Amino acid sequence: MKCKKSYCVLGIETSCDETGVALYDVHRGLLAHVLHSQIELHAEYGGVVPELASRDHIQKILPLIESVLEKASCALQDIDAIAYTAGPGLVGALLIGAMVGRSLAFALNIPAVAVHHMEGHLLAPMLEPNPPDFPFVALLVSGGHTQLISVKELGDYELLGDSVDDAVGEAFDKTGKLLGLGYPGGAALEKLAKQGNPERFHFPRPMVNRPGLDFSFSGLKTFAANTLRNTPFDATLHADIARAFQEAVVETLVIKCRRALKKMRWKTLVVAGGVSANSALRTGLSDMIVQLNCQVYFPRTEFCTDNGAMIAYAGCQRLLAGESTPLQVDVFPRWPLMEL
């Protein structure tokens, strides 16, 4: 017998190089989540190979669904709805999660809902014990996005600032590659930067002297390349460049977040997406927030990068708001969050 106090959503994430599956219950919270990362599969190519990503999602998705059910001691019949990432992302990869999610929902005769990947990231801090209240300013920092967004409530999103070129995660990955780190370079660059001397190089803080909330990070990667080329090699060169790069990124993001909070006159900042795992960024933003007498919220580290839990949570909120997606499966490789 199904307990009436349960409304259980299966979340499926396959937008890029992680297969994530989770079960979120509206009353009991997150029941279980599992993740398979394809990092090793793509490492030798220095970036994600879309066809390999799709093939791997196909192989992993059903065993992962079985495993999440087992972890939560649930049966297929305990699932009340299915949420899947419908975009933005790699078209082939998205199609795997969308087809499996939509078909399973059809077979079980339950609703399905298409979730926006970045809305998943944005709401990931809601999975924590002390979640933020609306409204808030959100900083979304991932491999494909660097955006400041005003969030009045679920689905009411306004773009305050965006990157005019590379996303910040992309800049971490490209600079990491220059420094001989594997793919993706963000976490490895952070580790290397810890050994670096912050006094040795000073990198520019792009676009901070101009009004507005837009970002530009491709110049920092070029600055790193030029510094590497023009400095005679020594044992700490790579670590010192990593440190200077990271300090420039963090200070730039801190300045823009402060500006966004002042513009909106709001007291809450939410930071999400893969780069929000970076501890220098977390410290920089937390220090600034104390000065402003505001609050900052981050997801737990494992939910900063792609995962099924954030999709299950976002899908659950959409379902509770009365939404569901018809039988026809559509995915949206490019899908601005503001269209929601």
- Report how many residues bind ligand KG4 under the rule CB under 6 A: 19
Q: How does DSSP assign 125-170, residue by residue?
A: GGGSSSPPPSSEEEEEESSS-EEEEEEEETTEEEEEEEBSSS-HHH
142 lies in the binding site for Zn ion (CB under 5 A)? yes
Q: Are 333 and 89 in contact (CB under 8 A)?
A: yes
> Residue 12 and residue 85: Cα distance in Å, rounded?
6
Q: Which is nearer to Zn ion, 142 or 325 (CB)?
A: 142
The least CB distance from residue 320 to ligand KG4, in Å, is 25
CA 263 to chain CA mean position, Å: 24
Could you tell me which residues come within 8 angstroms of residue 213 by beta carbon, excluding any fewer than 6 positions away?
148, 160, 161, 256, 259, 260, 263
190 lies in the binding site for ligand KG4 (CB under 6 A)? yes
- Report how many residues bind Zn ion under the rule CB under 5 A: 2
Site string for ligand KG4, 105-144 (x = CB under 6 A): -------------------------------------xxx
20 lies in the binding site for ligand KG4 (CB under 6 A)? no
The least CB distance from residue 121 to Zn ion, in Å, is 6
Among 13, 119, 214, 306, binds ligand KG4 (CB under 6 A): 306
146 lies in the binding site for ligand KG4 (CB under 6 A)? no
**Three-class DSSP category at 185:** coil
> Residue 123 and residue 121: Cα distance in Å, rounded?
5
Which of the 8 DSSP states describes residue 301? G
> Residue 112 and residue 110: Cα distance in Å, rounded?
7
Q: Which is nearer to ligand KG4, 80 or 190 (CB)?
A: 190
The least CB distance from residue 187 to ligand KG4, in Å, is 4
Site string for ligand KG4, 39-78 (x = CB under 6 A): ----------------------------------------
> Residue 38 and residue 58: Cα distance in Å, rounded?
12
Among 97, 101, 169, 299, binds ligand KG4 (CB under 6 A): 169
Among 138, 149, 277, 310, binds ligand KG4 (CB under 6 A): 277
Q: Which is nearer to ligand KG4, 105 or 205 (CB)?
A: 205
Burial code (b: 16+ CB inside 10 Å, e: under 16) for 70-103 equals eebebeeebbbbbbbbbbbbbebbbbbbbbbbbe
The least CB distance from residue 193 to ligand KG4, in Å, is 9
Instruction: Enter the tokens of residue 164.
Output: 């005019």
> Residue 291 and residue 33: Cα distance in Å, rounded?
36
268 lies in the binding site for Zn ion (CB under 5 A)? no
Among 64, 146, 306, 316, binds Zn ion (CB under 5 A): 306
Amino acid at site 102 = R
The least CB distance from residue 41 to ligand KG4, in Å, is 15
DSSP-derived pairing of the beta strands 268-272 and 295-297: parallel
CA 125 to chain CA mean position, Å: 11
- Out of ligand KG4, Zn ion, none, what residue 275 binds, judged by CB under 5 to 8 A for its kind, is ligand KG4
Q: Which is nearer to ligand KG4, 3 or 39 (CB)?
A: 39
247 lies in the binding site for ligand KG4 (CB under 6 A)? no
Residues within the interface to Zn ion (CB under 5 A): 142, 306
List of residues contacting ligand KG4 (CB under 6 A): 16, 142-144, 169, 172-173, 184-187, 190, 273-275, 277-278, 305-306
